[in-house]
Chain A
Amino acid sequence: MKKIIYFLILTSFSFYAQKKEKIVFLFDQNKDSIILKNNYRIYTIGNNQTFKYSVKKHKEINVTYEKIKKHVVSTHDFLKKNKFKKDPKYYNEYLFYIFIRNNYKSGCLVEVEKIWLVESKIAD
């Protein structure tokens, strides 16, 4: 009986240990940008942080700000929090979302993944 109880507890804790932390970045219409492509969108937010929404892979949903506010963090604070993690692997520890405000109460929550882009052209 004791073993079963320990197994149950360990399973539960291991489930929580694997769960990724949700991070929501707020989209600032004055500073941030979206590139629209056929099957995906690229969001550039904060200090040139780029995230990709793929139509076939990600979801988007209308939510109230109240529902997501506990997950909201600025890109600056996010990078500061992880500044000692030099390995970009740490991005795999999170689930990223971008919140695009429609009005003062609600907006569109877009599931995204972190991507790294290179310069579109190099002039000599």
Chain B
Amino acid sequence: MKNRKTNFIKLGILLFGISVFLLNCQKEETQTLNQQNLWKVNDITKNELDNKSEIKSFLQELKTKKNVKNTSKKENDSSYNFIIDYSTIREIQVENIKSYTFKIIRENSSKSYFENLVIISSNNQIQNAYLIKYTPKKEIVYIEDHNTISFEGKVNLTKINIANVNYNRKSTYCTDVWVPYCSWDYPHVAGLDCFVQQAIHQDGRIYSVLATICEDDGFLEPPVDAGHGGPGFGGGPGGDGNAVPTSPIGITNQDNKCEETPKGDLNGDCMLDYYEACLLNGNPQEVCDCAVVSNDLNECIDDYFDEQIFVDESFKNNTCLKSVYDKMGKASKFKEYLQNFEAEFSVAHLRFSSSTSLPTNTNAETSAPQNYLISITFNENRLTRPSLSIARTMINEIIHAEIFRKLLSVAQHPSIQLNTNQVLQLRNDYPGLYDYYMRWKWNVPQGQTPSSPQHEAMAEHYRKIIKQALKEFDGSQPEQIYDALSWTGLMGSGTFNSTTGLYANSTKAWINIPQNQRLDILNTISLFNTNNPKCK
């Protein structure tokens, strides 16, 4: 009995020991990772920036002060007269310090230098803010793959008095600035991709350059033996907590020539002007048009996004689409779907537009949400059909948008990326959608390419709704027409077989229709489209 007790004790101690050992292993691994991730660099979006309340309110205050200053006649007014280019927002984190770097654009910017606004935040509080002016000594090369530039040259700094946003010009101010460089190929300012590659390869390609920058003096250049210090960051930023971590954003070209046109450069001047930067940042054309006139991008965005449904000029200017849309808006079924996007707290925005560049056999397409925006684009080359047929396309697309809206409400993310718990929530909230996505997308056996889950679900369950909407749009047709039109777009995809009426990837509901009926439906649609006046 005594031996048994002793064995139990030994076993207990052994198991406890193993547990402690395993926990220690995990901890050691984390420490290694933390050291490697001393610098964390991300290019974040404007929406992500807006979630950082301290930065948002600081920028708002800066804007307010700028406006106040603009009306006065003080000497330094011109310093405030800039626009922030949100197309690249670089977030650099070093321990608990975060810096946000933006390119700023002035109305009369010189091509011989560029300027950045750098905001330093710690524990969700603004610590410092600077305007940094970079005047290159050597020609700047834009490295497209890394979305970054080479830079060597003079640097000037202006500190912003954050307590009462103002420019501190009373005394000469100096500070240390850490800039990450990448040694890959040839030394250049480290872009986001360099950090990703460093994380994967651990080859010491990233190193940081420390420079003391004053209001009227400073120089930044990569050292000759850069990046050969082995893994990690040669001369990393950990030593001096006061140094400003930043990364120059901007491209200038003194000769106004470029080998490759920068992305978004519409007028080919090798630079992004305010309007181009606005569009490149993903803002709708209306917002950028407004911003060019008012000089206040944020206000234009606010005004634009007060609306939940956007109808682009391309759509409005198309008489066929506009007339069908207006008439559909009076039909209760279509209106009901549209209203889900009109609600004040709708999880998604909806945008209608038209294009001439969609594939020739596509009537329209609905894009999954990007930044909460679902886009419906009509093919202008596929509008030589009767209005009822265009209305059918419109109701189909709004149903797709509604399904995406439901998925987005579960995803809790600007786009639809569901984690395990959200998939389980989808099963509880929308069991039908869960079932169709599981069967037709997420649990598809290897090698199979079935029809889309939304088309499968719509062919089976939404055709009554489509028919009702069509009748509300134009009640003058026989039942057979509504029934046939409700199948359009829901038969499947891939190669079409005119003998069987089936597609390579036909929907299950379409396959279940007897062949003679399928052919009748196809014939009815064809005759309807041919024999009725086209949409104008």
Contacts and interface: CB of A to CB of B under 8 A. Distances in A.
A104 interface: no
Given A12-B19, A60-B33, A118-B368, A124 B393 contact: yes
Nearest to B14: A12
A16 to B, nearest CB: 8
Interface residues of A, number: 43
Contacts of B81: none
Given A52-B417, A102-B201, A117-B417, A122 B454 contact: yes
Interface in B404-449: 404, 407, 416-424, 437, 441-442, 444-446
Contacts of B424: 87-89
Nearest to A48: B444
Contact of A119 (B15, B36, B200, B368): B368
A87 B438 CA distance: 10
Given A55-B40, A61-B32, A76-B446, A124 B396 contact: yes
B393 A116 contact: no
B8 A5 contact: yes
A8 B16 contact: yes
Contacts of B393: 124
B19 A124 contact: no
B364 interface: yes
A59 B33 contact: yes
Given A48-B444, A59-B30, A62-B202, A122 B400 contact: yes
Instruction: Classify the interface of chain B: helix, strand, loop or mixed.
Output: helix
B200 A108 contact: yes
A124 B397 contact: yes
A39 B437 CA distance: 27
A5 B454 contact: no
Ranked nearest first, the 3 interchain pairs of A and B with the lowest CB-CB distance are A12-B15, A8-B12, A124-B489
Interface of B: 5, 8-9, 11-12, 15-16, 19, 29-30, 32-33, 36, 40, 42-45, 48, 192-193, 196, 199-202, 358-359, 362-368, 393, 396-397, 400, 404, 407, 416-424, 437, 441-442, 444-446, 452, 454-455, 489
11 contacts: A1-B5, A12-B15, A39-B44, A39-B48, A46-B446, A47-B445, A108-B199, A122-B400, A123-B362, A123-B365, A124-B365
